[in-house]
Structure 1
Amino acid sequence: MFSGSIVALVTPMTTAGEVDNDSLQRLVDYHVSSGTAAIAAMGTTGESPTEHRRTPGRGAAGGGVCPGAHSGDRRLRLQQYPPAIRLSQAMAEMGVTAGLSVTPYYNKPSQAGLLAHYTAITDASSLPQILYNVPGRTGCDLLPDTAGRLAELDPVIGIKEASGRLDRVSELKRCCGEDFLLFSGDDHLALDFVRLGGHGVISVTANAAAADMAELFRAALAGDWTQAEAINRRLLPLHQQLFCDTNPIPVKWACAELGLINTSMPRLPLIPLDVSGQEQVREALLKAELTGRG
Structure 2
Amino acid sequence: MSIFKGAATALITPFIDDKVDFKSLETLVDRQLENGIDALIINGTTGEPTTMTHFERTAVAGAVIEHVKKRVPVILGAGSNNTYTAIEYAKENEQLGADAILTVTPYYNKCTQSGLVAHYKAIADAVDLPVIMYNVPGRTGVNIAPETCLKLAGYRGISAIKEASGNINQYMALNRLIDGKMDIYSGDDGLVYPLLALGAKGVISVASNVAPQYMHDMVYKFFEGDWKTSLEMQQKIEPLVKALFAEVNPIPVKCALKLMGIIPDDYMRLPLTRSEKVDEMRKALNDFGIQTEA
Q: Say whether the fold is shared (TM-score over 0.5).
A: yes
Whether 2:79 is the aligned partner of 1:72: answer: yes
2:255 counterpart letter in structure 1: W
CA–CA separation in structure 1 for the residues paired with 2:182 and 2:156: 11
1:37 counterpart letter in structure 2: D
Quick check: 2:251–2:273 contact (8 Å CA) kept in 1?
Answer: yes
> Which residue does the alignment assign to 2:250?
248
Deviation at 1:184, TM superposition (A): 0.8
Deviation at 1:233, TM superposition (A): 2.1
Matches within 5 A, 1:251-266: 251-266=253-268
> Which residue does the alignment assign to 1:178?
180
CA–CA separation in structure 2 for the residues paired with 1:268 and 1:126: 35
CA–CA separation in structure 2 for the residues paired with 1:218 and 1:265: 33
1:43 counterpart letter in structure 2: G
Whether 2:290 is the aligned partner of 1:290: answer: yes
> Which residue does the alignment assign to 1:17?
18
Quick check: 1:100–1:129 contact (8 Å CA) kept in 2?
Answer: yes
- Aligned residue pair count: 285
Secondary structure class of the residue paired with 1:49: helix
1:40 counterpart letter in structure 2: I
Quick check: 1:160–1:185 contact (8 Å CA) kept in 2?
Answer: yes
- Where does the alignment leave 5 or more consecutive residues of structure 2 unmatched? none
- Where does the alignment leave 5 or more consecutive residues of structure 1 unmatched? 77-81
CA–CA separation in structure 2 for the residues paired with 1:19 and 1:50: 11
1:15-72 residue CA offsets vs partner (Å, 9 max, x unmatched): x221100000000000000000100111111112112523323444326121101111
2:187 counterpart letter in structure 1: G
> Which residue does the alignment assign to 1:61?
68
Quick check: 2:65–2:98 contact (8 Å CA) kept in 1?
Answer: no
CA–CA separation in structure 1 for the residues paired with 2:85 and 2:80: 6
Q: In percent, how many aligned pairs have the same letter?
A: 38
Question: TM-score if structure 1 supplies the norm length?
Answer: 0.93
Quick check: 2:163–2:185 contact (8 Å CA) kept in 1?
Answer: yes
Deviation at 1:174, TM superposition (A): 2.6
Deviation at 1:167, TM superposition (A): 2.1
Query: Aligned to 1:270, which of 265, 269, 272?
Result: 272
Whether 2:220 is the aligned partner of 1:231: answer: no
> Which residue does the alignment assign to 2:189?
187
Quick check: 1:7–1:202 contact (8 Å CA) kept in 2?
Answer: yes
Question: Residues 175 and 60 (structure 1 numbering): CA distance in 2 closer, same or farther, change over 3 Å?
Answer: farther
Secondary structure class of the residue paired with 1:108: coil
Query: Aligned to 2:202, which of 200, 203, 210?
Result: 200
1:130 counterpart letter in structure 2: I
Quick check: 1:235–1:287 contact (8 Å CA) kept in 2?
Answer: no
CA–CA separation in structure 2 for the residues paired with 1:70 and 1:133: 13
Question: TM-score if structure 2 supplies the norm length?
Answer: 0.93
> Which residue does the alignment assign to 1:50?
51
> Which residue does the alignment assign to 2:280?
280
Quick check: 2:153–2:181 contact (8 Å CA) kept in 1?
Answer: no
Deviation at 1:159, TM superposition (A): 0.3
2:158 counterpart letter in structure 1: V
CA–CA separation in structure 2 for the residues paired with 1:221 and 1:138: 32
Query: Aligned to 1:213, which of 190, 212, 215?
Result: 215
CA–CA separation in structure 1 for the residues paired with 2:248 and 2:51: 15
CA–CA separation in structure 2 for the residues paired with 1:25 and 1:202: 20
Deviation at 1:200, TM superposition (A): 0.8
> Which residue does the alignment assign to 1:112?
114
Matches within 5 A, 1:92-171: 92-171=94-173
CA–CA separation in structure 2 for the residues paired with 1:172 and 1:146: 9
CA–CA separation in structure 2 for the residues paired with 1:266 and 1:232: 29
